[in-house]
Structure 1
């Protein structure tokens, strides 16, 4: 069940999978959320599922509560980050309590990174015995056959983007929001762009915050020839192959699948020093860290990886090594499947 049209699911499932469209709105809406909870309860009660698995904050809360009400015997939820991490006061308290409710209604809880697991335990959201992490983190690992260095694809996508072979390309790939760091990466780039004459910034992802697209355009107005903008894509690996450095200046992340996918392509990361990313990136090994929102630190890291080709190559090799050794899809999916089988039996 997901909030998607049938045609968007084409090719994803085989004959053993049935898709049910459920209009779960991303943003809070009391009427819509109560309606969705009721619909979920009715579906669960009618279908008599043996287990329910949920992911994402609001969908997880609704699914776990509905599953508890319908007496579904096995209720699994995967935490992928906490929306209240960057909030304070009563908002933080209220959202955190909703995660407490979610965890209480679930029979099994998982986190997609060890540092997030530790954070949830320390915050009293869940007990250590109830929460699990697969391997060293992630939801389903990296398909290393899909996300890999590819010189032919690199040349093709660079040609389409109008980027020369010798340019150093910094890639930001995420929903365009302030929390993801979309404004930070562009502002930091502009601060040091004059010192990096052959550097380009590639920003990929859908606008998910009203007005942010126009803000990015204004910020990059002095460097339009080195700013490349692409919306939502089904081919992230192609654009990753065209890049040299992956930037993720996010203020909150449960883990970041995109970061380890980029690592599979051989991209070192410039990342915020926050839980989640501290597992996806190895400091000094597969990338460089900066404090959240620290534009000077982001710019300095960009300059370092722009000028130091040997460091870039070393971090690239280590990133690719970690993608294969720690986060390969076969490894994570095996642990995931083993956990589910053991829980069901």
Structure 2
């Protein structure tokens, strides 16, 4: 008999983005089910995984949230999981509440960046309280970076006073080094370059994330506008969903910010966009680990990122990329121009970044760490330890 593991997420897009590497490996060791909004769309991609659709909306709605909580409780009582493991803030809260009420033996949440970190006033206190509640209701919580664990401990979110544990050296599920292999992406990359109207001589910065203020979407547009005024060969690949419609409104009010910007929505093949990228830019105000950073690093692409918890683990400053003071547009602009002016420096950073991924962040290494963590949790819990014999 195998342990039953339920992974709880907000929506279907989270599955290929954050769980793909895990789901491709986990079914040989555990019986696994993924729960979230419209997650069954992914069934064909993962035939050995069970998917259950429960409408967990990222935005706050008391009525919708109560219905989602009720649905989670019903499912947990019927399925009887041994382990429930959530990511994302809303799914983390609802999963923690449902798991506690239904007495799921092992309840885990992975923090991937704090919503409240970039907020002020009452909303900051409210979302901070929710993270403390998630930590209190779960058996154990993880983070995806050591700096995030230290940050949370400073704010009294900890594991009995100690920093929350981190799997391996960090990240949610590591990098699929076969998928993020530049040598296999040259032809698709050249095709994409032509489709987007980019020349081989262009120097391409890429922003690949949700286009929100917290992710630095507005900042990268403003900084790149200054870069573009100096270097005509600079282009910005601006990739990701405009969830709040703010970018579309900005296009109407400040069209000058979009000069030499190739604006693309949500994509499922971001490895091809990375294949034509010279430098990844992630000027986030809050971040967990920055999965996209090590995806890029696996392909020898350095990153310019904010000097914040999470990114200081995925970017080794001046070795695999460069960090700047969060929100400092002048410094960001200066670093972008430095990248254009110093191609040898970029090559060296890219080589170091790639070797670091190979050493610490492959998907196989992260899955091994996750499997061992699940089994350790099970051995520590008397209601699940009887099943461990079937896994050894």
Q: Corresponding residue for 2:42?
A: 9
Tell me, in whole angstroms, the C-alpha distance in 1 between the residues paired with 2:277 and 2:252.
20
Task: Work out which of the residue numbers 345, 350, 358 in structure 2 matches 1:316.
Answer: 350
Q: CA shift at 1:216, angstroms? A: 4.3
Task: Work out which of the residue numbers 279, 283, 290 in structure 2 matches 1:256.
Answer: 290
Unaligned runs of 5+ in 2: 1-34, 380-392
Q: Corresponding residue for 2:314?
A: 280
TM-score (norm 1): 0.95
The answer (yes or no) to whether the contact 1:45–1:70 under 8 Å persists in 2 is yes
Of 165-174 and 38-47, the range deviating more from structure 2: 38-47
TM-score (norm 2): 0.84
Cα deviation, 1:58-82, whole Å, max 9, x if unaligned, reads 1011101110100111111111111
Cα deviation, 1:102-152, whole Å, max 9, x if unaligned, reads 111111211000001111111101234572101211010011111122333
Question: SS at the partner of 2:126?
Answer: helix
Q: Corresponding residue for 2:273?
A: 239
Question: SS at the partner of 1:255?
Answer: coil
Unaligned runs of 5+ in 1: none
Task: Work out which of the residue numbers 207, 211, 215 in structure 1 matches 2:246.
Answer: 211
Of 148-157 and 296-305, the range deviating more from structure 2: 148-157
- Structure 1 residue 65 and structure 2 residue 65: aligned? no
Tell me, in whole angstroms, the C-alpha distance in 1 between the residues paired with 2:154 and 2:258.
44
- Structure 1 residue 20 and structure 2 residue 52: aligned? yes
- Structure 1 residue 103 and structure 2 residue 135: aligned? yes
- Structure 1 residue 338 and structure 2 residue 372: aligned? yes
Cα deviation, 1:171-208, whole Å, max 9, x if unaligned, reads 00011111111111011011121221211111000111
The answer (yes or no) to whether the contact 1:252–1:274 under 8 Å persists in 2 is yes
The answer (yes or no) to whether the contact 1:190–1:220 under 8 Å persists in 2 is no
The answer (yes or no) to whether the contact 1:48–1:72 under 8 Å persists in 2 is yes
Tell me, in whole angstroms, the C-alpha distance in 2 between the residues paired with 1:220 and 1:318.
38
- Structure 1 residue 196 and structure 2 residue 231: aligned? yes
- Structure 1 residue 230 and structure 2 residue 264: aligned? yes
Cα deviation, 1:324-345, whole Å, max 9, x if unaligned, reads 2121111111111111111112
Tell me, in whole angstroms, the C-alpha distance in 1 between the residues paired with 2:274 and 2:227.
22
Q: Corresponding residue for 2:31?
A: none
The answer (yes or no) to whether the contact 2:240–2:265 under 8 Å persists in 1 is yes
Change (3 A) 1:4 1:285: same
Structure 1 ranges of 4+ moved more than 6 A: none
- Corresponding pairs, count: 342
Change (3 A) 1:156 1:209: same
Q: CA shift at 1:218, angstroms? A: 5.3
The answer (yes or no) to whether the contact 1:51–1:76 under 8 Å persists in 2 is yes
